[in-house]
Amino acid sequence: MTGNVSRSGGLRDVPRVPSYTSGTSGVPLLGDTIGDSLDRTAALHGGREALVDVPSGRRWTYAELVSDVDDLAHGLLAGGIGKGDRVGIWAPNRPEWTLIQYATAKIGAILVNINPAYRTHELRYVLEQAGVRLLVSAPEFKGSDYARMIEEARPECAGLEQVTLLDSPGWNELVDAGRAARRDRPDDLAAAQAALSPDDPINIQYTSGTTGFPKGATLSHHNILNNGYFVGELCHYTEQDRVCIPVPFYHCFGMVMGNLASTTHGATMVIPAPSFDPHATLEAVQAERCTSLYGVPTMFIAELADPDFDSFDLSSLRTGIMAGSPCPVEVMKQVIEHMGMSEVSICYGMTETSPVSLQTRSDDSIDQRVSTVGRVGPHLEVKIVDPATGLTVPRGEPGELCTRGYSVMLGYWNQPDKTGEAIDAARWMHTGDIGVMDDDGYVAITGRIKDVVIRGGENIYPREIEEFLYTHPDVLDAQVVGVPDRKYGEELMAWIQLRDGAEPLDTAAVRAFCEGRLAHYKIPRYVHIVDEFPMTVTGKVRKVEMRERSVALIEGL
């Protein structure tokens, strides 16, 4: 025996398996541009329903969708918009958003997604930073006067040449000009489409920006088309599926996992409402016989809590995607049992990775779907590294999750320094999330590197406490943050939403519930009962804001 005997004569320790895995697949990557992919689907499924807008009752078959997309694409070309030009879209979920998404892709213009929650200074920054030439916008939404804010921002946006408001003569003129150009110069669009490469940038999505201004993740056809396709593959989509999309189009969840996953499979996109409405979502699933439903956990919690929930027929549901934040065990069980989503999938990702890197499979156990974010996606790699050394840690040990492959963004728009901070020389995207990989390659996300609470030298991961608090019968949802403490450096504060009709809870009651079941240093020192959490438009809890408000709250005690 040679090579594995120590000097003392015993066997050397077998090296532990590293936290690295890659996604093999017998299904090849797509080599199309987004426009070519849509044309291919329409050629196969032209008569099938492609898009349904429940609020307005408008419907498109794939043949009709491609026709309207082509009209709009011709209109953009006729207006001087071409390959590489940036076109902003500032609107809630509505059919025109989808039309713009595919029309810009057909001519190679770069779509710039603008968060519907933005205000004037944020709008101004994005328009200027991306160099938007044309802005397509809703006139207003939820009391926000978009038209007024655009006029306030416009003087400082030198590159903004055109503004087109939806539901206005300007929009109709754009479409009419496209129809005329399509009739008079039918070859223009084909020539523009033929000049595109799948590796061209096609989309800029601005990250939340917890500090300072957001960064524009720049994504190619190849990035997002393939990510949408393989997310749909793992959901087993076919042309028979009808996907209810209450998550926002301006985010990857809506426009990639929703729209592109659907159109690469000939499935139907269903828009239940301009923004998330639990009742409208349930109504849409019932009326349109949706087979798949998307949402972050808070959306599913709201749907399950709808007073009329039991009256809806959700028997058409088979699958769906839950993403954006960790899913509590009880929520997953209720989604499967009461909503019929037996194949519901958990996805993990980030805007910079198009977005999905890890996903559970339809035959995974409930435990795997709630305790992990699944396994690596096809044609991708993930690893867990020591943040200090960059070396891959053994399986079972925590570290920073990194991912590499077709999904990694081209970079942050015009910010090479920020790109270099996120993507290393070997093209690994550093997520900033803490993960643990098990022996089967499943990854559990235990928190953000910056969210770890260090109390008296003990590292505390808020998700563990949140999951525990959720087991309290009166707790609807819980979020835990760290607050400054003179003695321990940091202490824990729990923000808690109570179920309807629940008995009031105070700090003493919560601490009593935790005593003997959590280590003493994991028991929240402070408890704050709230009706709702500060949220982003995509349904993610804004822990940065919670921490700021928590500091003010404890100072007042």
Which DSSP string corresponds to 365-413?
-HHHHHH---EEPTTEEEEEE-TTT-PBPBTTS-EEEEEEETTS-SEET
Q: In this predicted structure, what is the pLDDT of residue 4?
A: 41
Query: For residue 318, how far is the Cα from the chain centroid?
Result: 21
Buried residues in 103-133 as b, exposed as e (16+ CB within 10 A) = bbbbbbbbbbbbbbbbeeebbbbbbebbbbb
Cα 253-89-542 angle, rounded to 5 deg: 50
Query: Phi and psi dihedrals of 278, rounded to 5?
Result: -60, -40
> Please, where are the H alpha helices in 79-186?
95-107, 120-130, 146-153, 169-184
List the pLDDT tens digit at each of the 557 positions of the chain: 334 433 344 456 778 999 999 999 999 999 999 999 999 999 999 999 999 999 999 999 999 999 999 999 999 999 999 999 999 999 999 999 999 999 999 999 999 999 898 889 889 999 999 999 999 999 999 999 999 999 999 999 999 999 999 999 999 999 999 999 999 999 999 999 999 999 999 999 998 644 457 899 999 999 999 999 999 999 999 999 999 999 999 999 999 999 999 999 999 999 999 999 999 999 999 999 999 999 988 899 999 999 999 999 999 999 999 998 778 888 999 999 999 999 999 999 999 999 999 999 999 999 999 899 999 999 999 999 998 899 999 999 999 999 999 999 999 999 999 999 999 999 999 999 999 999 999 999 887 777 778 787 777 878 888 988 989 999 999 999 999 988 888 899 999 999 999 988 999 999 999 988 887 888 999 999 999 999 876 677 888 899 999 999 998 76
Q: Per DSSP, what are the bridge partners of residue 110?
A: 86
Question: CA 275, CA 280: separation in Å to the nearest integer?
Answer: 10
H/E stretch holding 52 = strand 49-53
Question: CA 236, CA 225: separation in Å to the nearest integer?
Answer: 16
| DSSP conformational letter for 54 | T
Question: CA 486, CA 525: separation in Å to the nearest integer?
Answer: 13
pTM for this prediction:
0.85
| DSSP conformational letter for 474 | T
Question: CA 242, CA 231: separation in Å to the nearest integer?
Answer: 15
Q: In this predicted structure, what is the pLDDT of residue 1?
A: 35
- Other CB atoms within 10 Å distance of the CB of residue 311: 9
Q: In this predicted structure, what is the pLDDT of residue 210?
A: 40
Total number of residues shown for the chain = 557
- Residue among 479, 15, 20, 29 at smallest CA distance from 230: 29
- Residue among 248, 151, 259, 265 at smallest CA distance from 205: 248
Query: Phi and psi dihedrals of 11, rounded to 5?
Result: -70, 140
DSSP labels, 167-184 = TSHHHHHHHHHHHHHHHH
Question: CA 54, CA 127: separation in Å to the nearest integer?
Answer: 31
Q: In this predicted structure, what is the pLDDT of residue 333?
A: 92
Q: In this predicted structure, what is the pLDDT of residue 20?
A: 98
Question: CA 52, CA 60: separation in Å to the nearest integer?
Answer: 7
Query: For residue 428, how far is the Cα from the chain centroid?
Result: 20
Architecture of domain 452-556: 2-Layer Sandwich (3.30)
- Domain positions in the chain are 452-556
